[in-house]
Chains A and B, each alone.
Chain A
Amino acid sequence: GENVEQHPSTLSVQEGDSAVIKCTYSDSASNYFPWYKQELGKRPQLIIDIRSNVGEKKDQRIAVTLNKTAKHFSLHITETQPEDSAVYFCAASKTPHSILFGNEKLTFGTGTRLTIIP
């Protein structure tokens, strides 16, 4: 099955600096890579995702890059703010869901606790 590794496990950056979180995956058939943010005591929420036919995607201060050859993808947060402090999870799957293709579950990384230092 799919294996997703995520680094670093903890990351502290000064407010205003950039943060980068990296993930690698094992299954070359994976084609969907979302990032979830979990604030303290809250549920995980999707912040950005990328599909394998795209190399980079941006949404304001957040960007995700994908290198299919190397099987790794990264989350980039620029101009960090205190509200960016949270745990971030990467994930990988073969989607869209289809009954025809059986289990296309999402495999998560182990998470990165990002702390923004004021």
Chain B
Amino acid sequence: EAQVTQNPRYLITVTGKKLTVTCSQNMNHEYMSWYRQDPGLGLRQIYYSMNVEVTDKGDVPEGYKVSRKEKRNFPLILESPSPNQTSLYFCAVSGLAENEQFFGPGTRLTVL
């Protein structure tokens, strides 16, 4: 079964405490993205990766880092989280030869 998984699903943390949200896929797809979803703002892309070791900024990259050391994993790193990063985060995956993006289940992050 094709799957995109994210961990953790829920996280409450404090300002400045580094955290990582993992994203993993078993679809062997090249393209992976991170989005954040905020009320009234829709889905905004944070970072994306076209393949291993190929990453680039999306619309709202400030305060985030990513890495793509393996094809299946695309972790999102918040080095020093701040309250304005409280949001619902989605990882998404698609193949280079197709357009549909498959979303993970989401991670609800609260930064106090």
Rounded to whole angstroms, the CA-CA distance of A95 and B56 in the bound complex is 17
How many chain A residues sit at the interface, stated as a range, is 20 to 34
Rounded to whole angstroms, the CA-CA distance of A98 and B96 in the bound complex is 7
Chain B residues near A111 (CB-CB < 8 A): 42-43
A85 interface contact, C-beta 8 A: no
From B41, B42, B99, give the contact of A95 (CB < 8 A). B99
B31 interface contact, C-beta 8 A: yes
B53 interface contact, C-beta 8 A: no
Q: Would you call the interface of chain A mostly helix, strand, loop, or mixed?
A: loop
From A44, A99, A109, A110, give the contact of B103 (CB < 8 A). A44
Q: A89-B43, A108-B42, A109-B42 are in contact. Are A103 and B56 (CB under 8 A)?
A: yes
Asked whether, in the complex, the Cβ of B40 is within 8 Å of the Cβ of A110, the reply is: yes
| Interface segment out of the listed B18-26, B44-52, B66-74, B77-85 | B44-52
Asked whether, in the complex, the Cβ of B41 is within 8 Å of the Cβ of A32, the reply is: no
Asked whether, in the complex, the Cβ of A105 is within 8 Å of the Cβ of B99, the reply is: no
Number of B residues near A (Cβ < 8 Å) is 30
Rounded to whole angstroms, the CA-CA distance of A111 and B44 in the bound complex is 12
Q: Which residue of A lies closest to B96 (CB)?
A: A97
Q: Which residue of A lies closest to B101 (CB)?
A: A106
Shortest distance between the CB of A62 and any CB in chain B (Å): 15
Asked whether, in the complex, the Cβ of B44 is within 8 Å of the Cβ of A108, the reply is: yes
Interface set of B (CB-CB < 8 Å, partner A): 30-31, 33, 35, 40-45, 48, 50-51, 54, 56, 58-59, 90, 94-101, 103-106
Q: Would you mind naming 15 contact pairs between A and B with Cβ atoms under 8 Å apart?
A: A43-B90, A44-B103, A46-B100, A49-B99, A89-B42, A89-B43, A95-B99, A96-B97, A97-B99, A106-B33, A106-B45, A108-B42, A108-B43, A110-B41, A111-B43
